Amino acid sequence: MRDDTDGLASAGPEFLNRLEAALPGRVTAPTDAYLTEARGRYTGLAAAVVRPHSTEEMARVVRLAAEARVGIVPYAGGTGLVGGQTAQGPAVPILVSVEKMDRIVEVNTADNVAQVEAGAILSIIHDKVEDHDRLFPLWLASQGSARIGGLLATNAGGVQVLRYGSARDLCLGLEVVMADGTVWNGLKRLRKDNTGYDLRHLMIGSEGTLGIITGATLKLTPKPVDTATALVSVAGPQAAIALLNVVRAHLGETISAFELMHRQGLEFLAEHLPQIAQPFAHRPEWSVLIEVGGGAEARMQERLETALMVGAEEGLVSDALIAQSDTQSRAFWDVREHIPEANRKVGAVSNHDISVPVSAVPEFVERGGPAIAAIDPSLRINAFGHLGDGNLHYNVFPAPGRTRAEYEERRSEIKAVVHDLVHALGGSVSAEHGIGRMKVDDLERYSDPAKLTAMRAIKAALDPLGIMNPGALFRG
Ligand SMILES: Cc1cc2nc3c(=O)[nH]c(=O)nc-3n(C[C@H](O)[C@H](O)[C@H](O)COP(=O)(O)OP(=O)(O)OC[C@H]3O[C@@H](n4cnc5c(N)ncnc54)[C@H](O)[C@@H]3O)c2cc1C
């Protein structure tokens, strides 16, 4: 069964029979849905999909795989954007899905926590905790499909990181099946726990390379009862950052979203999703979507209006719309949230999920455009994202009427130009999507050597057989 190319064995019929005997009815052939991903860049390879119903069953799968030295690719909602959930071989692994472990075990309003199984879908967690007047403030366009195990494994971000932090900041405890099949029960609900190395933070963002997350204790917050949403036309990223500071001065830490959008994204939207109404009569070159929220007496709309008036007096605001109803607020968000879908319909030549210090965003945008144009002036750029976090999705598209396939040979050059610029500005080449299989080379190229050495040592210590998500984060 051994495949000498990487020391792992392929999951052959004999191994699959053993799995089926140990977990009757849990092992099936992989359908296309498990082997493809949103951007169509990767087609996965798997001998079977295993769907355990409990942590104990999950541990059994891992022990059997460790015994046979078969690779395991953890799988949650399949919405990852860096190929982490799509195995590539050469040895054929198994996909292990947490979808049958999707219970919301408890919502506890005294401790302000929810305990969930790893397969719980994010939007269902939102609904369940809202029934208790609480918020789980992790908010992203894939929330209808992404599951908490995958969201924690990738340390997902989204549109409310500015106020509430990323998945890491919203998790108090974890349960994980380690690479040897032992179970680490770390489902604590403590705000303070200084008892040595924090395994929770090691597992969060490890993208399935150290173990399989089977459960989590999530931090809840009170639901803001008074919110206000505005769509604001600004001259550019510099003005947008200055406006963020004005809004902050007036509304403090009540800002939950500050999203930048470029006209290119609005044009893709108009072309490919015309059913999404665009609130501005003329599509602005740059705009920001702002959301603020507070308690009952917070007067959010009035205070946001004042801040925007000050912004206009300072020449930062060209035009502003403040939502007058929940429906209007939803319509503003629809614009922002459908940009990724419109992008996918156009088909990017190269996508970049980057972050730089917030103050460096204008320089990044100013230098990025000419650098891409120097490769090919017909390329189009759609820059949008979480400006308050210095995180932009900086995606490069073909000229109108051409396809991404026509630019395939320029893709690595485009990526290198963008990532070199990010690195020069002290940024990160993966702000929120992770490394997966797509950015393994970038991790090697841009990481501090001491960090890489420590990462390899951790991997070797916790997964000495190398069975956990082979080929993700590190070369296979
Ligand atoms: C339309 C769209 C919008 C998006 N917007 C954002 C955004 O704003 N911010 C953001 O951060 N991301 C975003 N993403 C990316 C994606 O939703 C996140 O990466 C998400 O966290 C992945 O969750 P998932 O359940 O789909 O995991 P999967 O795709 O199934 O897996 C992702 C990775 O985690 C590993 N994994 C899965 N489950 C486990 C587990 N139980 N234990 C250990 N490892 C596991 C997998 O092996 C893989 O490496 C977006 C994706 C789409 C399609």
Q: How far is CA 124 from the centre of its chain?
A: 17
Residue of 151, 155, 83 whose CA lies nearest to 120: 151
- The mean pLDDT of 223-227, rounded to a whole number, is 91
What was the pLDDT predicted at 3? 38
- Cβ(47) to ligand 1 under 6 A? no
pLDDT above 90 for 4: no
What is the rounded CA–CA span in Å between residue 408 and residue 398? 10
> With pLDDT > 70 as the criterion, what percentage of the chain qualifies?
99
Task: Sort strands 391-397 and 380-386 into parallel, antiparallel or unpaired.
Answer: antiparallel
Q: How wide is the angle at C-alpha 428 spanned by C-alphas 177 and 474, nearest 5°?
A: 40
> What residues form DSSP beta bridges with 321?
231
- The whole-number average pLDDT for the span 101-125 is 98
**What pLDDT does 5 receive?**
43
- If one residue of 57, 154, 213, 345 were mutated to test the ligand 1 pocket, choosing by the most ligand atoms within 8 A of its CB, it would be 154
CA 175 to chain centre: 21
Q: Are 269 and 337 in contact (CB under 8 A)?
A: no
User: 33: CA distance to ligand 1 center in Å?
Assistant: 15
Ligand 1 site, residue 93, Cβ cutoff 6 A = no
Q: How far is the CA of 270 from the centre of ligand 1 (A)?
A: 28
Is 337 near ligand 1, meaning CB less than 6 Å away?
Answer: no
For position 399, what pLDDT does the model report?
A: 95
SS (H, E, C) the chain: CECCCCCCECCCHHHHHHHHHHCCCCEECCCHHHHECCCCCCECCCCCEECCCCHHHHHHHHHHHHHHCECEEEECCCCCCCCCCCCCCCCCCEEEECCCCCCEEEEECCCCEEEEECCCEHHHHHHHHHCCCEECCCCCCCCCCCEHHHHHHCCCCCCCHHHHCCHHHHEEEEEEEECCCCEEEECCCCCCCCCCCCHHHHHCCCCCCCEEEEEEEEECEECCCEEEEEEEEECCHHHHHHHHHHHHHHHHHHEEEEEEEEHHHHHHHHHHCCCCCCCCCCCCCEEEEEEEEECCCCCHHHHHHHHHHHHHHCCCCCEEEECCCHHHHHHHHHHHHHHHHHHHHHCCCECCEEECCHHHHHHHHHHHHHHHHHHCCCCEEEEEEEHHHCEEEEEEECCCCCCHHHHHHHHHHHHHHHHHHHHHCCCECCCCCCCCCCCHHHHHHHCCHHHHHHHHHHHHHHCCCCCECCCCCCCC
Q: What whole-number distance in Å separates Cα of residue 194 and Cα of residue 186? A: 13
> Does the beta carbon of 433 lie inside 6 Å of ligand 1?
yes
What is the spatial distance between Cα 347 and Cα 459, in angstroms, rounded to a whole number? Answer: 35
List the Cα angle 218/221/226 in 5-degree steps.
150
What does the pLDDT read at residue 6?
Answer: 59
Q: 144 pLDDT exceeds 50?
A: yes
CA distance 171 to 43: 31
Residue 1 pLDDT > 90, yes or no?
Answer: no
40 vs 356: which has the higher pLDDT: 356
pLDDT above 90 (res 297): no
Atom of ligand 1 nearest to the CA of 469: 47
Q: What is the pLDDT of residues 319-360, one digit of tens each?
A: 999 999 999 999 999 999 999 999 999 999 999 999 999 999
Asked if 129 and 112 count as a contact pair (C-beta separation under 8 A), the reply is no
Q: Which residues contact 407 (CB under 8 A, 6 or more apart)?
A: 349, 376, 379, 398, 414
- How far, rounded to the nearest angstrom, does the alpha carbon of residue 364 sit from its chain's CA centroid? 22
| Cα of 312 from ligand 1 centre, angstroms | 39
Q: From atom 53 of ligand 1, which residue's Cα is the shortest distance away?
A: 79
Q: Which of 384, 370, 376 is nearest to 402 (CA)?
A: 376
- pTM of the entire predicted model: 0.94
Tens of pLDDT, residues 170-187: 999 999 999 999 999 999
pLDDT per position as a tens digit, 399-456? 999 999 999 999 999 999 999 999 999 999 999 999 999 999 999 999 999 999 999 9
Q: Which two tokens stand for residue 53?
A: 């119903």
Residue 418 is which amino acid?
V
Instruction: Tell me the residue type at 350.
Output: S
Alpha carbon distance 264, 434 (integer Å): 25
Q: 235-287 pLDDT, tens per residue? A: 999 999 999 999 999 999 899 999 999 999 999 999 999 999 999 999 999 99
What confidence category does residue 92 fall into, taking pLDDT thresholds of 50, 70 and 90?
A: very high
Ligand 1 in reach of 79 Cβ (< 6 A): yes
pLDDT exceeds cutoff 80 at 2? no
